[in-house]
Amino acid sequence: MSEIVSRVHSLTAAAAGALPCADEITALTDAAQLALLGELSALRREVDTAISLVASDIERKSARELGPESLARRAGVRSGAELVQRLTGSSLTDARKAVRVGGLLETAASVSPAEETDAPAEPRSIEALAALGGPWSAPIAVTVRNGWLPAEHADRITSGLGVPRDDASTPAYRQAVLRLIADCWDGELTPEDAARNAKATRAVLDREWATQNAQRLYEQRSLKRTVRSDGMVKYDLLVDPATDAQIWTPIRRHLAPRLGGPRFLTDEERARAEELQQDARTNEQLLADTFTAFLTAGITSSGVFGKHTPTVTIAVTTSELKKAITADAARRNSPPHDGPPGQPPGAASGTSTHRPPATPPPEDGIAWLDGTPHPLTGAQLITSLCDGSAAAALLDETGQTLDATKAERTFSTRQRRAMAIRDGGCLIPGCPMPPDATEAHHLNPWNERPQNRKTETKDGICLCRFHHLNLHNQGGHIERRGNTYWLHWPGREPTRLLPKHSLTTQLRTQGTIS
């Protein structure tokens, strides 16, 4: 073991014995705890400095040009940063930061050798930094080495500024570094503040980069939709700052009192603020509801879809609709409670003042959205129909749509929608195609008899393009027996085609259809 390693090993053992335990910390006064945290932070900075110097040297010995002699390659990893990550147990991001900080410390040693331990401490000043030689980043390096600036701040500034595009812009970068360091000293900036200021400075110094970066951010925009196993749907929306301003500004303005914004001045605004404060929904729920409301309003009023504004279709039977209407009336006629709007009874005082009614509430209805096994409550159905965000497709208790027939050979849009709701997608077993990816297949060939020239919803089913063509090409056909459909395939026994919509599952569960 080398002398340095042995010395640090002894230091580690001594530190472990000197560090306080939880009971000792809780017994300290507030002032003593603050002083202890300061001392521990100073100790950590010294250790982090040494780690950074080692990390930087490991990275240099792991250069790709060294090939098989690379230290990282001999250790079985791709880079020096990955080797540092393995040895320190840190994240790869922290390991790379250690390498960068180590590089800064090496730069500091080259432009301004460290003072002897018995020499007076060098005064912290922008003038001293401005007098340094070396590269444009030398002032940052020296502030870290001298303890004038935390390594985290220095790394954020360096990363945010990037590098000068050419020699002509180097003096401007040097002046920007001095200003950013002074801002950190004068304003006690956080690392996040320092990074933001550095990025803004880079945009001013390098307009070409600013343009390219704005375009790069814009091109990364995306929206991902994931359906979880519990039925909840997650939207992962990634937008550039300009788009975010368009989305977030009206939402923040609308929910300002709940998001830490101003309470406003007018009586109306004060009342709105008080209502938001008393709303029982969490901030996350309020944000979700507000975002949905804005999006729905934009769809219905913007005219971007012309006359064909997309409408959500909800499938419901006549009996379930009646239940939903009855339950809604019962809710509207129930005695009012003492809490604010949207808050359950008794929530304002912390005790329940709500007493159960003398008679149980009527059974609520259920309805179904396309492609999901999770039902809507009657209340959700009534709300959706009231605000015009959805259209109801009404079915009887046998699963057939009401008022959806048309005396034409071609299925109408309304009939296609009814078929999609009834079938829930391509009816061929095992086919995952949803309703909007299917075609309407006529069960009764046009040329068999005149009666077939009348198109009715019950005589059509949903098939995807592949299975539709395959059925015609391979000689198969589909037969309707009452309210059930059967696939006849040459050489096989008939197979019943089971609808995939959740409303049909409800009716089969209730026994109203087989």
Region 455-474: mean pLDDT is 76
CA distance 23 to 18: 14
318: amino acid identity, one letter: T
**Residue 479 phi, psi (nearest 5):** -115, 140
Region 469-482: mean pLDDT is 77
CA distance 296 to 317: 26
pTM for this prediction: 0.60
Q: Is 275 helix (H, G, I), strand (E, B) or coil?
A: helix
Q: Inter-axis angle of helices 138-145 and 170-187, to 10 degrees?
A: 30
Region 467-496: mean pLDDT is 81
Across the strands, what pairs with 314? 369, 392
Whether residue 161 contacts residue 198, with contact meaning beta carbons closer than 8 Å, is answered with yes
Region 356-383: mean pLDDT is 75
Predicted confidence (pLDDT) at residue 511 exceeds the cutoff of 70: yes
For tokens 């096994």, what's the residue? 373
Encoding tokens for residue 294?
């804005």
Closest of 105, 97, 101 to residue 145, by C-alpha: 105
Mean pLDDT, the chain, whole residue set: 79
CA distance 399 to 419: 10
Predicted confidence (pLDDT) at residue 226 exceeds the cutoff of 90: yes
Residues contacting residue 72 through CB under 8 Å, at least 6 positions apart: 58, 62, 78, 79, 80, 82, 83
Determine if residue 76 is left, alpha or beta; phi over 0 gives left, psi from -120 to 50 gives alpha, anything else beta.
Answer: left
CA distance 124 to 129: 9
CA distance 324 to 363: 8
CA distance 398 to 387: 29
Calculate what percentage of the chain has a pLDDT beyond 70: 80
Predicted confidence (pLDDT) at residue 65 exceeds the cutoff of 60: yes
Predicted confidence (pLDDT) at residue 105 exceeds the cutoff of 70: yes
pLDDT in tens, 414-447: 787 788 888 888 888 877 777 777 777 878 754 3
- pLDDT computed for residue 347 by the predictor: 40
Q: How confident is the model at residue 462 (pLDDT cuts 50, 70, 90)?
A: confident
pLDDT in tens, 173-224: 999 999 999 999 988 888 999 998 898 899 888 988 888 888 888 899 999 9
CA distance 293 to 300: 11
Q: How confident is the model at residue 337 (pLDDT cuts 50, 70, 90)?
A: very low
Parallel/antiparallel/unpaired status of strands 438-442 and 390-395? unpaired
